[in-house]
Amino acid sequence: MNVNGFDAAAGALAQAVQAQRLAQRLRGLAAHGGVPTGGVARQALTHEELAARRWLAQDFAARPGYRVGIDAAANVYVRRCGVDAGAAPVMTGSHVDTQPLGGWLDGAFGVVAGLEVFDALDSLGVATRRPLDVVMWTNEEGSRFAPGLMGAVSFTDPQRLADFLPVADSAGVAFETARDQAVTDFETHAQRLGWSWMDRPLGAPVHAYVEAHIEQGPVLEAQGLQVGCVTAIQGVRWYRVSVPGRSAHAGTTPLANRDDAQAKAIAMAHAVLGHARDCGDERMRVTIGRWECLPGSINTIADHVSFTVDARHPDAQALDAVRTVMDAALPDGAHIEVLQDKPTVQFAPDLVALATAGCEALGMRHRQMLSGAFHDAMPMAGFCPTAMLFAPSIAGVSHHPAEDTPIEDLAACTQVLAWCLLKLAEPAPAST
Ligand code: GLV
Ligand code: MN
Ligand code: MN
């Protein structure tokens, strides 16, 4: 198809994206794990998440030309078959797991946007040469099983799955057990309903991956923009710091005689947060998000504290400096465990250019930008040409029940996604 022919087809597809259908499916998804007081509680591989994945797949699984599957990391796929069955698929999607109490769009938007593109393609009867896959990655958040991105990392580097299988959640349930239950649940359901099945091995070739996501930050809204074309994701390091002490009576033990794990941990936390505040770099991000203290009694000195540090910055040297501060402030006997260390990744310049061209062709107000959050696209970037599209977040709020985006902005981002996916999957004459 010539360039003008392609532009016409992609423009028509973008027009076939329906904001109302997108909103309806997002609301239906939010009901899975929806909390009456606001927000969504749908952590990785819980009953709520498995039900949500089945619910999303079922709309398409029975349509002609569709297949569903689940891989060894419990990533779920919905495939719209291409005319060239042997061609590597173009992939889109994101995650449907949430923080313990998260918002309704983080991850959910990317999956539902991909499915909306399927609906738009179906409404126009457009066939593509390459298959198109919408993927629901497993455990992006990392809040139930640490680290995050387990599904996408396992897909792109299958040997890593073995490292994740023994990881347990706070109730002692191993990722392997939850993964096995998820695979059995999806396969049984698909078999019972006669869904067309596809096997999708970890590491199977992918032509390109484009993920839509909410920005989760304030930039696009503040600048009155509709779409962000993401050029890179900043590096992230996660640590767990364990500080030992000795329990003793809170009323009788003089300060000089104490080995107070809590006091030592607080001093170290101040050092690392103080560095972030005073280093003079507004790009620095340091978060202490989890804090555990044993025995956790009001009148007993703590004999064990552990806390997490999440440090992010685009430059590795800045993250090294955080680690230097942590090492210098580490109390005697304490230790630091690295839970995750992901360097900054750059997205494929050709795909960023494609996303930008899509915004221009569709008349969207857009800019190129860095992602502050990590995403499933991070491991994918080392595996196949990868890019991301951002929709604005109201007041930049995310990982919170108030997370929101105007539906017209979600639809605009989905239109650009549709434009990019059709370009990558190539419009084809429908087979008869
Ligand atoms: C993903 O949720 C992140 O923490 O960036
Ligand atoms: Mn996300
Ligand atoms: Mn998230």
Q: How many residues does the chain have?
A: 432
pTM of the model: 0.92
CB 39: neighbour CB atoms within 10 A?
22
Atom of ligand 1 nearest to the CA of 236: 5
C-alpha 237/C-alpha 198 separation (Å) is 36
The finding on whether 141 has its CB within 6 A of some atom of ligand 1 is: yes
User: From ligand 2's centre to the CA of 226, what distance in Å?
Assistant: 18
Q: For helices 47-61 and 108-124, what crossing angle results, to 10°?
A: 10
d(CA 280, CA 133): 44
The three-state secondary structure class of 68 is strand
Give the Cα separation of 141 and 99 in Å (integer).
6
Give 424 Cα–ligand 3 centroid separation in angstroms: 27
- Cβ partners under 8 Å of residue 4, min gap 6: none
- Give all domains of the chain, ordered by start, each with its CATH number: 3-233+345-428 (3.40.630.10), 235-342 (3.30.70.360)
Residue to probe by mutation, ligand 1, list 101, 137, 149, 216, most atoms within 8 Å of CB: 216
Q: Please name the residue whose Cα sits nearest to atom 5 of ligand 1.
A: 373
Q: Does the C-beta of 238 come closer than 6 Å to ligand 1?
A: no
> Three-state SS for 46?
coil
Please state, as a whole number, how many other Cβ atoms lie within 10 Å of the Cβ of residue 278.
9
Cβ-proximal residues to 352 (8 Å cutoff; 6+ apart), any chain: 229, 230, 231, 368, 387
Q: What is the pLDDT along the chain (432 residues), one digit of tens a residue?
A: 455 677 889 999 999 999 999 999 999 999 999 999 999 999 999 999 999 999 999 999 999 999 999 999 999 999 999 999 899 999 999 999 999 999 999 999 999 999 999 999 999 999 999 999 999 999 999 999 999 999 999 999 999 999 999 999 999 999 999 999 999 999 999 999 999 999 999 999 999 999 999 999 999 999 999 999 999 999 999 999 999 999 999 999 999 999 999 999 999 999 999 999 999 999 999 999 999 999 999 999 999 999 999 999 999 999 999 999 999 999 999 999 999 999 999 999 999 999 999 999 999 999 999 999 999 999 999 999 999 999 999 999 999 999 999 999 999 999 999 999 999 999 997 554
CB of 215 within 6 A of ligand 1: the answer is no
Burial of residue 256 (number of CB atoms within 10 Å: 0-12, 13-18, 19+): exposed
**Please, are residues 291 and 272 in contact by the beta-carbon 8 Å criterion?**
no
